[in-house]
Structure 1
Amino acid sequence: MGTYRVLLVIVVMAVALREVEPSKDAMKYITSGFVKVLEECKKELNMDDNILADLFHFWKLDYALLDRNTGCVIICMSKKLDLLDDTGRMHHGNAQEFALKHGAGEEVAAKIVSIIHECEKKFERDDDECLRVLEVAKCFRSGIHELDWQPKVQTIVSEVLVEI
């Protein structure tokens, strides 16, 4: 399992990180696909609904994201979305394609992959894969906030509710 599995939550949510507001259709597609994969992983990893709190608050910088299980879920989701290579590391091409497919432009998709890659380098030495991915996710979140690309939680939640 690689650190690059952070990519799922990151890319799924980060696709909303375009310089132009994403369309409602793109957000609906992103969030509905994300929710479907999340549910699979929740069941597969035998996790309760508490994991949803971390994911709901993901983009809030003041939210600590301390639950190791969040990292494990991110790993699972990234694997299901084919965002990892054979070594369990982020597959740059697949990650970029995923972002493009979900509404990001070329430059934004490349920047998303670049931020994740830089964050992964910072946490290469962590032995616990789930904790490593959690740290990479927090690093990515900070990088996206620095660019002021973070999506609005209300948009994500409303689109998810429409799909349920």
Structure 2
Amino acid sequence: MKLAILDRDGVINHDSEHYIKSPEEWLALPGSLEAIARLSRAGWRVVVASNQSGLARGLFTMETLNAIHAKMRKEAAAAGGSIDAVFVCPHGPDEGCGCRKPEPGLFLDIGRRYDTDLRDVPVAGDSLRDLQAASAAGCSPWLVLTGNGRKTWDKGDLPAGTQVVEDLATAVDAWLQET
């Protein structure tokens, strides 16, 4: 089984410093849904791993978050793709949980649920914490320059082996060429 793990905000959809708080605010980045569709057509499982501290902050409810993810999945399906699962950390940054990126808990949970070794599973993220969590879980970190990606790139100090690409579509092109 081929598996790809994607961060949500800044990788699949536009990010906001004020959080994505409603389905109406969730807007796909150009080419991201088509990239997911290409992975799906090639037999890959696509999983989203996302910090969602807006839940802990009271900015939106689980019902609203589920509606946002339903829109994301529906739009991916309309493009011909499938998002197999969405794994979320609902905790705030000061709660000390093991699932909030940069901790690897979300990724380790994905590995257990899919009963798969995470070694070299590609992870696309736009922030340092995405890449650190991926690296800590043994995954292959890929920085996309969308969302916060350019700021992350400019700050440097990326985990060893991090690949840097323009966007999710470019990452997917590389992943599909490797198989």
Structure-2-length-normalised TM-score: 0.30
Q: Which protein has the larger Cα radius of gyration, Structure 1 or Structure 2?
A: 2
TM-score by length of 1: 0.32
| Larger strand proportion of the pair | 2
Higher relative contact order (CA 8 A, sep 6+): 1
Structure richer in helix, relative to its length: 1
